[in-house]
Amino acid sequence: MNVIALGLSHKTAPVELREKAVLSDSAARAMIADLTASEYVTEAAALSTCNRSEIYLASPDPPSAEAIATEALVRHTNIPADSLACARYVLRDDQAAAHLYRVAASLDSMVLGESEIQAQVREAWERAMALDAAGPQLNRLFRGALEVGKQVRTATMIGRGAVSVSSVAVDLALQTIAELASSTVLVLGAGAMAEATTRALVEQGAANVVVANRTEGTAHALARRVGGRGVSLAAVGPELAKADILIASTDAPHPVLMREDLEHYLHERSDRPMLLIDISVPRDLDPAIGELPGITLHDIDDLQRVVEDNVNGRRAEAERGELIVTDAVAHYAGWRANLTAAPTIRSLRERAERIRQAELDRVRGRVDALSDDDRKLIEAVSRGILNTLLHDPTVKVQEAARSGDGTAYLESLRHLFDLDSEG
């Protein structure tokens, strides 16, 4: 039985292809049902996120299963067959395990160390189990992946430090402002970056948000999405006296807020500190604003330096995570090798046991006067001889299987003991 991973990710496909290959929960369930209805697929699971769509299979016939899985992914998503052919990857057995282990440990993520992927891997496994599509192969694979993911996050600092401008902005706010929930966030601009940063602050507890934009209708639209209120950029002056955090992200070609604009309202602030984060290029905020008392000003370069430092730190931690994955894959390979050897070892022991029982029956037929103690002694001695004789062949076959040389040993063992003739 082989394990197969087939799919595409941010490493092989641009977003316009990845979005066509996204599987909804209902589509994933329908696809799994189709796959497991095939004689070539015994187990199936589907993992679909914004950065990857992958199918995991157990199959006695990998080429046939891979063809069926490719067709199923095309049938249950919007990705064309020719596009999938160019973007897909196919991995088997230990390579498939190594891939899923790296995925669950966020070593294969677009944002190294991101935390959402483990829950997504667990969801994929639970869906397969709910559909009775996960058996011994995929259960072992996904359980191991989640254990590796947890170990990497526990034993390394791969998830430490924000690695996006919006998340760094939130970190700065949490470090500078004592009570985010009771603070007022003023946002200049209503574009994608402004929205991402505002949403990140709201997720961390910011409840009072004011959005100011040159087009007031756009300000109101963003304010509704984040649970705040909108104002015109021209009317932002009085809001400066109330704001604790100011996020500037407009597309203006020159500063929209000068030192004297803010200085005018400082006397109304009662010495409350104020954090200003300018994520625009060109800058929205006059750099001289940072010289005012109680004001902390950061621009996009400040944030990018923090992001780069954090990314470099995560890369260093990722090297430690890769060692954990390598060790876990070796254990997985050993488990699979033992599965490969197990039927032959079981057949050998069953044959040996039949011979032992036949010889005991022959002895019992000749000797009528055996006591119960005699029978127990003969039973124990004969069983001991059998176990002693089979111990070394069993161990050597298992070792050979784990090293990758097991096929020749297994075939020799089956031939020498005529195991195939017994079915």
Nearest to 17 by CA among 82, 108, 90: 82
- For residue 86, indicate whether it is catalytic: no
Q: Give me the amino acid identity at 68.
A: I
In 3-state terms the chain splits into helix, strand, coil percentages (rounded to 5) of 60, 15, 25
Bridge partner residues of 212 (DSSP): 188, 231
With residue 403 as reference, give the H or E element that holds it.
helix 372-403
- Using DSSP, state whether 274 is helix, strand or coil: strand
Give the Cα separation of 151 and 107 in Å (integer): 12
Give the Cα separation of 221 and 211 in Å (integer): 9
Nearest to 96 by CA among 124, 61, 137, 132: 137
Do 3 and 140 meet the contact criterion of CB atoms below 8 Å apart?
no
Give the Cα separation of 407 and 391 in Å (integer): 19
Which entry of 33, 50, 355, 395 is annotated as an active-site residue? 50
Please list the active-site residues. Answer: 50
